[in-house]
Structure 1
Amino acid sequence: MDFRSSEPVVGPRSEDALPASVTSAVKVVVVGGFGVGKTTMVGAVSEIRPLTTEETMTQASAGVDDIAGIERKSETTVAMDFGRITLNDELVLYLFGTPGQQRFWFLWNGLFEGALGAVVLIDTRRLEDSFDVMGRLEERGTPFVVAINAFPDAPSHPVAELRAALDIPDDVPVIDCDARKRGSSRDALLTLMRYLHTLTTTTPEPW
């Protein structure tokens, strides 16, 4: 997916500076395997024109990038996607979409620096691609929520079955999402923020 297939923006994207009322800025990363819709989500929800680093896929990537199940994909992110969304008068999120191919994962360290949390996008046609992604987040101690992206030909599974199949901890939210739609993508980000708030209020006090 790329953001050009996302829900169209009503009116022009604002390139204006942040409102004076904004007091907090949070960095969030959108991660997932190859072709799960990260660029689409950032583009759909961003209130500014998103920065993308997509390049056309060529025969040089044949045998390197696994496109099974996403054969129609013609472009891929090679560095990052960037967007911004203001959640309320005081809080703004800066969104960083990561490249999905493992050969570009060396860029993740810089993209994750200073990130408060992550949204992990899942494609049920390619569940195996999610294990390494979530493993890297757990190794870094980065809190995350899981968003099951809606693809027309993707199999549907009960959330409980997906949680068990992916070994997702019980406290980690798992939600349905359509990365093409602004409202659905925004809901995924709000779920992450609520989860982060829960973590800060339930962390045991040090002895």
Structure 2
Amino acid sequence: MDFKSSDTVPGPRVEDHLPHTTQAAVKIVIVGGFGVGKTTMVGSVSEIKPLTTEETMTQAGVGVDDNYGSDSKTATTVAMDFGRIGITEQLVLYLFGTPGQERFWFLWNGLFEGALGAVVLIDTRRLEVSFDVMGRLEERGVPFVVAVNSFPDAPRYPVPELRAALDLAEWVPIIECDVRRRASSRDVLMTLMHFLHTLATRRAPV
């Protein structure tokens, strides 16, 4: 029997195809506490329609998740966000945004596998939620840069004060950004790529 349906599965969009000039693809993870802007960053900078795994927040999370500063937030990432951006004609970055709520951190280990580097997004109203995030990256040997997302009501601190508060080494870059803006998010990724290049140059045999 021949079954026909008016519903068709859409194929990949032309803009979602990898450019034919691509020679290398690099995995980057974007990490941080709950509500710091990871999903927004992936969405603003991705050249393809981002894959998100957001679910509606419910009363079950009350008293379990730290929602400080995110009173208007109605959904949260429960697995990952995924996007892609071309840095040059030859180099493409695959972006993986991690869930911020602590009860989903068990997923991080899989997301860190094969990652060349990471962006740690921070909210200056909640610096303490960044400590465990950076600790996990350091344990796995994943180099990272710190991006300070500019929330309207968040206090601003000089970079030396932030570096001291986060106990960051002098060589770890800190950059301010507004993840709602594509150019700003791209600047963060470029900072990470320059940092990774610097590290690779230092390690290269003479």
Residue 65 of structure 1 deviates from its aligned partner by: 0.3
**Residue 173 of structure 2 aligns with which residue?**
173
Quick one: distance in 2 between partners of 1:19 and 1:56? 35
Identity over aligned residues, as a percent?
73
Structure 1 residue ranges, 4+ long, deviating more than 2 angstroms after superposition: 13-16
Name the count of aligned residue pairs.
Answer: 194
> Are the equivalent residues in 2 in contact too, given 1:57–1:76 (CA < 8 A)?
yes
> Are the equivalent residues in 2 in contact too, given 1:123–1:148 (CA < 8 A)?
yes
CA offsets 1:12-47 (integer angstroms, 9 cap, x no match) = x96331111110100000000010000000000000
Unaligned runs of 5+ in 2: 1-12
Q: Measured at CA, do residues 74 and 14 of structure 1 come closer, stay the same or move farther in structure 2, by a change above 3 Å?
A: farther
**Residue 190 of structure 1 aligns with which residue?**
190
**Residue 115 of structure 2 aligns with which residue?**
115
User: How does the TM-score come out when normalised to structure 1?
Assistant: 0.91
Quick one: distance in 1 between partners of 2:62 and 2:16? 42
Q: Does the residue aligned with 1:92 lie in a helix, a strand or coil?
A: strand
Larger radius of gyration: 2
Q: Does the residue aligned with 1:157 lie in a helix, a strand or coil?
A: coil
**Residue 8 of structure 2 aligns with which residue?**
none
How do residues 142-181 of structure 1 correspond to structure 2 at under 5 angstroms? 142-181=142-181
Quick one: distance in 1 between partners of 2:168 and 2:149? 16
Amino acid at match of 2:187: D
Quick one: distance in 1 between partners of 2:169 and 2:205? 22
Unaligned runs of 5+ in 1: 1-12
CA offsets 1:115-141 (integer angstroms, 9 cap, x no match) = 000000010011000000000000000
**Residue 29 of structure 2 aligns with which residue?**
29
Quick one: distance in 2 between partners of 1:66 and 1:20? 44
**Residue 10 of structure 1 aligns with which residue?**
none
